[in-house]
Amino acid sequence: MSTVSLDTPPPAADRAALIATLSHVLPAGALLTDDEDLRPYECDGLSAYRRTPLAVALPASVAEAQAVLRTCHALGVPVVTRGAGTGLSGGALPHAAGVLLSLTRLNRILAIDPVNRTARVEPGVRNLAISQAVAPHGLYYAPDPSSQIACSIGGNVAENAGGVHCLKYGLTVHNILGLELLTVDGERARVGGQALDGPGYDLLALLTGSEGMLAVIVEVTVKLLPRPERAQVVLAAFDSVTAAGAAVAGIIGAGIVPAGLELMDNLAIRAAEDYAQAGYPVDAAAILLCELDGVNEEVSEQILRVRELLRRHGASAVRTARDEAERARFWAGRKAAFPAVGRLAPDYYCMDGTIPRARLAEVLERITALSADYGLAVANVFHAGDGNLHPLILYDANRPGELKRAEEFGGRILELCVAVGGTITGEHGVGMEKIDQMCVQFATAELAQFHAIKHAFDPRGLLNPGKAVPTLHRCAELGAMHVHGGNLPFPDLERF
Ligand SMILES: Cc1cc2nc3c(=O)[nH]c(=O)nc-3n(C[C@H](O)[C@H](O)[C@H](O)COP(=O)(O)OP(=O)(O)OC[C@H]3O[C@@H](n4cnc5c(N)ncnc54)[C@H](O)[C@@H]3O)c2cc1C
């Protein structure tokens, strides 16, 4: 992973020419070039990887962002777009010879339409700020990443972000209607619209999850939903992770679609309890949090069914939150789980992969075995209903070799996901982190299609180069590991 060469700064004369031109097109204070000012932008949420950009541009209008793109395009300078920098796959990691285009100042809510249940927002608006702004209309924006207090809607679109409520309400791609974007040479374009089905290629879907590789998103039209009459959460404790995994399959198999269905193992439970005092049973091997929402009677009926199913699957304790305060506490523990686990070791590495729900227990057992092999502890806290795993590998970057071991361990987990018929991303994107595992997930012909799409949008490869899609050469060097190519990871596992 760390071998991609994006580290070479350009000659001093080119740097000076770029800075002079950008200073001309941006107002004072909108261009950072001093080392000290650049430091906060060296990494995103994946702090193991750091690189200093040539400059950071902070446009406050679409016209200023256009001017940055036009300048970089004319000079052949790479551009890495950045939202709030909470990404966990290194997607916003700067390019040493490039400009980091930070969109945090484009943070206005442009229009709220309560009748059509939509809002038009700039890309730097925080995810949670949308729901807060539309709350007086009884509406909210459903996708709720645990980072929602900080992450931007532009970053959510670029990563196709998910969250607790995506099991019932879908990912970002299911909750947006249109985008305004800037092409690599600064042209403004619109994709999507108000209709559910539009003519032409579905560029809205293509742009969602494109990780800043195809265009810069400068406006998002989001769908809003009416707040449910009632939401209630049930917490169940289990003596084994396997039993909790089986209960997940049992609930979904019974035809119930919870608003959220989250699993935490013992290490995550203890860390979250210590951090947030959520009222979790710290001796449980695993807990499930199952949220049900809808009209009052429907929720009451579903709670009874879920409690019964949880008992039948061996839950040692089942508690329904007594009131809104307790419900908020149960969720506060889950939402704080990443920073809470972060207190257990100097560093942690958050993996993100998706597997078929039926393989949950088996995959978790494998991860435990890998944890022993690599001598690194792992905490599991994840969107169990979606089969979206988040193993958090604990390590100490100051101990020689530990980061490399953590990376290898993470890579094995992703290959495990592919081997059971899953994918190497659930919601955090590929970025720098998972670029090698793309060679495991996709065949050469499939990757060639990705390159053709990239070329159509960005022929000179100036937008976020070196991320998300590996070169065919890189995959060949890694030994053509694609699972359909015969060289299967985990050959002893039953295939999907
Ligand atoms: C504690 C914690 C919890 C998290 N929980 C979740 C979770 O539950 N679900 C989830 O999905 N993610 C989660 N994340 C990951 C992260 O918050 C999301 O990926 C989020 O969508 C990133 O948004 P951002 O604004 O921080 O984007 P950034 O990190 O700044 O950028 C992410 C990627 O998007 C590109 N990009 C950003 N803005 C634009 C734009 N306007 N146009 C084009 N490209 C752009 C960047 O180039 C980069 O490739 C979590 C992160 C943390 C730290």
Residues 268-303 have pLDDT tens digits of 999 999 999 999 999 999 999 999 999 999 999 999
Rounded to an integer, the average pLDDT of 74-85 is 97
Atom of ligand 1 nearest to the CA of 468: 49
pLDDT at position 491 is: 72
| Cα of 407 from ligand 1 centre, angstroms | 20
> Nearest CA to 464 among 47, 67, 89, 143?
89
pLDDT at position 169 is: 96
Nearest-10 Cα torsion for 483, 489, 491, 492:
-130
Atom of ligand 1 nearest to the CA of 156: 21
Atom of ligand 1 nearest to the CA of 427: 11
What mean pLDDT is reported for the chain? 93
Say if ligand 1 is within 6 A of residue 441 CB: no
pLDDT at position 481 is: 58
Say if ligand 1 is within 6 A of residue 217 CB: yes
Say if ligand 1 is within 6 A of residue 294 CB: no
pLDDT at 2 over 50: no
pLDDT at position 334 is: 95
Q: Which one-letter amino acid corresponds to residue 336?
A: A
pLDDT at 163 over 50: yes
pLDDT at 483 over 60: no
The pLDDT confidence band at residue 4, using thresholds 50, 70 and 90, is very low
| Cα of 253 from ligand 1 centre, angstroms | 32
Atom of ligand 1 nearest to the CA of 103: 41
| Cα of 59 from ligand 1 centre, angstroms | 19
| Cα of 159 from ligand 1 centre, angstroms | 6
The SS3 call for residue 133 is helix
Say if ligand 1 is within 6 A of residue 209 CB: no
**Ligand 1 pocket check: which of 107, 151, 206 to mutate, most ligand atoms within 8 Å of Cβ?**
151
31-35, 359-363, 364-368, 424-428 — most confident range: 31-35
pLDDT at position 495 is: 67
pLDDT at position 3 is: 39
**Ligand 1 pocket check: which of 105, 147, 462 to mutate, most ligand atoms within 8 Å of Cβ?**
147
Rounded to an integer, the average pLDDT of 182-208 is 92
Q: How far is 66 from 277, CA to CA, in rounded Å?
A: 47
| Cα of 143 from ligand 1 centre, angstroms | 13
The pLDDT confidence band at residue 486, using thresholds 50, 70 and 90, is very low
Digit-coded pLDDT (tens) for 46-63: 998 999 999 999 999 999
| Cα of 488 from ligand 1 centre, angstroms | 31
Task: Give me 487's structure tokens.
Answer: 């060289």
Say if ligand 1 is within 6 A of residue 81 CB: yes
**DSSP state letters, 193-217:** -SSSS-SS--HHHHHTT-TTSS-EE
Rounded to an integer, the average pLDDT of 330-338 is 94
Digit-coded pLDDT (tens) for 421-478: 999 988 999 999 999 999 989 999 999 999 999 999 999 999 999 999 999 999 988 8
Q: Atom 5, ligand 1: which residue's CA is nearest?
A: 146
291 half-sphere exposure, CB direction, 13 A CA radius: 24
Rounded to an integer, the average pLDDT of 105-132 is 98
- Residues sharing a CB contact under 8 Å with residue 268, sequence separation 6 or more, in sequence order: 337, 340, 341, 379, 380, 381, 392
Say if ligand 1 is within 6 A of residue 342 CB: no
Rounded to an integer, the average pLDDT of 219-229 is 97
pLDDT at position 485 is: 45
Q: Is 76 left (phi over 0), alpha (psi -120 to 50) or beta?
A: left
pLDDT at position 214 is: 98
Q: pTM for this one?
A: 0.93
Say if ligand 1 is within 6 A of residue 90 CB: no
Q: Atom 37, ligand 1: which residue's CA is nearest?
A: 155
Atom of ligand 1 nearest to the CA of 123: 41
**Ligand 1 pocket check: which of 44, 81, 392 to mutate, most ligand atoms within 8 Å of Cβ?**
81
